[in-house]
Structure 1
Amino acid sequence: MKNFVSLERVGQRFGSGRSAFVALRDIDLSIAQGEFVTLIGHSGCGKSTLLNLIAGLVPASEGVLLCAGREIRGPGPDRAVVFQNHCLLPWLTCMENVHLAVKRVFGATEGARNLEERSAAALRLVGMSHAAHKYPREISGGMKQRVGIARALSIEPKVLLMDEPFGALDSLTRAHLQDALQGIVAATGTTTIMVTHDIDEAVLLSDRIVMLGKGPAATIARILPTGLARPRRRNTLACDARYLACRAAVMDFLHGSHDEFQLEPTAA
C-alpha cells in the first residue's frame, strides 16, 4: 500500500478564540508501508505534537489522519509508541512489562502459553532475553529502552512511533541502539516514524527526512529522500557522498537560510 499512513491538511490548535495557540497547519504527508521516516526541526516546531496526532493520543483540530485506510480516531494496537522515557513499571520484571502489553492486546483470543511465547519472542528480538527476570532498577538505561521497544513491538503494530527514544542516552549506547533498531525494522518490516533532534541519526536511519519549519503554526518545509541503500553501516557511510550530501542539506536547513527550500511532493 503506497499511502499506508496519510495526513491530509492536518492542523492542530490548543485553546480557543483569540488566545488559541496554533501549533501545526496544513500538514500533508503520505508514508508507505515499511518506510522509515524521521521528523526533524527546531524545538517548538510541533514534532512531538504531530507524532501524538498519529498515535491518536490527541484529536486533530483540522484535517484527516488515516492508517491502513482507516481514520485515526484514538489510540489503537495498530500503532505503538516508544517515548524518550522508557515508561517501564518498576515493580514488574522486564518480561512482565512486555507481557502486560501482550495480554492487553491478545489476552481475549489466545491462551497463556501463546502470550508467554509472544513476550519472550519480543525480548529475543531486542537482545534482552538474558534480563527477562530482572527489574528495571537492575538494568542500564539503554537496556530499559530495548525493553520499551520490545513491549511496543510485542503487540505487532502496523506503525512504530518513536519520540526521541535515544535522546537521554550516552553516545556509545545510542549508536548501539541505532544499529539494533535498523536490524529490528528490517526483520519486522514495521512502518516507523521517529522524532529526533540528531542529524546523523536521521540520515542513518531514514528513508525520508521530514523537516518542519519553525513554529508556531509550523508546516512541512522540505522532505528529503536519503536514497541510501540498506543495510547501512556507519563506518562506511562516514565517507559516502550521498550520506554527506543529506547531512549537509539537513544541517543547512536547521542552521542556515530556509528561504531557498520549497515544499517537495510527499508521495513515496
Structure 2
Amino acid sequence: MSYLQISRVGKTFARGASSTEVLRNIDLEIEQGEFVSIIGHSGCGKSTLLNLIAGLTEVTTGGIILENAEVNAPGPDRAVVFQNHSLLPWLTVYENVNLAVAKVFGRTKTPAQRHSWIMDNLNLVQMAHARDKRPTEISGGMKQRVGIARALAMEPKILLLDEPFGALDALTRAHLQDQMMDIHQRLGNTMIMITHDVDEAVLLSDRIVMMTNGPAATIGEVLAVPLNRPRRRLELATDRTYLRCREAVLKFLYERHRFVEAA
C-alpha cells in the first residue's frame, strides 16, 4: 500500500435543502518522500482536497489512509502552511515556533531539547537571526519562512502547502521556491502543494495532479516530472523535459478554460 492513499473520495457541502458536490471519485496514491503539486482553475476543489487530507474537513464518500491509519481528524502528522502565515502577532518568531513544538513534544523532549529543535528549524529556513522579532517587524517572505519552520518543527509525516508563496513578490517567491527544494532534498519530506503557478509546479514537483473544472471536479491527468534533483532554475529554462512538462500543463489548463468559457 502507498504511503498516502486517497480512494474514491467525494465531498459534498450541504446548506439547508441545497447541496453542492465539490469533488467526485478522487483516486490518488502518493509515495513517501514525493513532492506532488495540485493545479487547476479556481473552484476545482484544490483547497478542499488539501483540507480533506489535513483532516480539517470530513470526506463525504470514500476514504483517506496515511501509513495504514484512516484520516478523519486533524493531527500533528499533517502540518499545513497556508498562503497567510497565521503567526500570532504578539509572539516573537521563536515563540510562534515554540507553540507547535510544545504541543507536539511537550512530554517527550526536555526544555533544552525543545530549544535546540526550535533553533534547528529556524536555522533551516534562515530565520534564527530574527528569533526575537515579532511578525510586524519582519517582511512577508520572512513571515512565511517562520510559518514553514513552525510546520516542519512538528516533524509531520506530510507537509501540506496551500499556495504558500501566492502573496509574495516574484523575487521573494523564487527565493522561497529554491529554499523549499533545498529543504525537500535534505529532509526527504512528503509534500503536497496547491498552486496556480505552472512554472512553480514543474520546478518543484515529482508529479503534478491536474484537476478538472468544478463542480464535481475530479483528477483529469497526473503528469510525472522526470527532472533530476537538485534542480537549478536557470539551467531548466532551456531544458527540453522542463519545457515539455510545462507545455503539457498549460495545454490541460487551456482546454479547461475553453470549457469554462463555453459554459
Both proteins in one fold, TM over 0.5: yes
Question: 1:265 is matched with which residue?
Answer: none
Show the counterpart of 1:266: none
Kindly report which structure 2 residues correspond to 1:140-155, keeping only aligned pairs within 5 A, or say none.
140-155=139-154
* 2:87 alignment partner, SS class: coil
**1:7 maps to amino acid:** I
Determine the structure 2 residue equivalent to 1:127: 126
| SS of equivalent to 2:126 | coil
Instruction: Report the counterpart of residue 79 of structure 2 in structure 1.
Output: 80
Which whole-Å CA distance do the structure 2 matches of 1:65 and 1:165 have between them?
Answer: 23
Distance in 1 separating the partners of 2:16 and 2:3: 35
* 2:174 match: secondary structure: helix
Identity %: 60
Deviates more, 1:42-51 or 1:249-258: 249-258
- In the alignment, structure 1 residue 157 sits paired with structure 2 residue 156: yes
**Aligned residue in 1 for 2:238:** 239
**Displacement of 1:19 after TM fit?**
1.2
Q: Deviations over 1:14-33 (max 9, x none)?
A: 00686110000000000000
The 2-side partners of 1:17 and 1:217 are apart by 19
Partner residue, 1:178: 177
In the alignment, residue 89 of structure 2 is paired with which amino acid?
Answer: P
Distance in 1 of aligned mates of 2:32 and 2:107: 28
* Equivalent position SS for 2:230: coil
The answer to whether residue 228 in structure 2 is matched with residue 229 in structure 1 is yes
* Root mean square deviation of aligned Cα: 1.3
Q: Deviations over 1:196-253 (max 9, x none)?
A: 0000000000000000000000000000001111000110000000000000000011
SS in 1 for 2:228: coil
Q: 1:258 to 1:166 in 2, by over 3 A?
A: closer
Task: After TM superposition, give the deviation of residue 136 of structure 1 in Å.
Answer: 0.5
When the two structures are aligned, how many residues end up with a matched partner? 258
Deviation at 1:255, TM superposition (A): 1.1
Deviation at residue 256 of structure 1 after TM alignment:
2.7
Matches of 2:63 and 2:15 in 1, distance apart?
A: 20
Q: Deviations over 1:168-213 (max 9, x none)?
A: 0000000000000000111111100000000000000000000000
For normalisation by structure 1, the TM-score amounts to 0.94
Cross-structure match for 1:47: 46
Residue 28 of structure 1 corresponds to: 27
Structure-2 separation of matches of 1:74 and 1:214: 27
Q: Is the contact between residue 212 and residue 256 of structure 2 (CA under 8 Å) also seen in structure 1? A: no
- Counterpart for residue 55 of structure 2: 56
Match of 1:220 in 2: 219
Gaps of 5+ in 1: 260-268
* SS, match of residue 192 in structure 2: strand
Partners of 2:213 and 2:256 within 8 A in 1: no
Letter of the 1:198 counterpart: D
Q: Is the 8 A contact 2:87 2:135 kept in 1?
A: yes
Paired with 2:37 and 2:134, the residues of 1 have a C-alpha distance of 31
Structure 1 residue aligned with 2:261: none
- Relative to 1, partners in 2 of residues 1:134 and 1:236: Cα closer, same or farther, differing over 3 Å? same
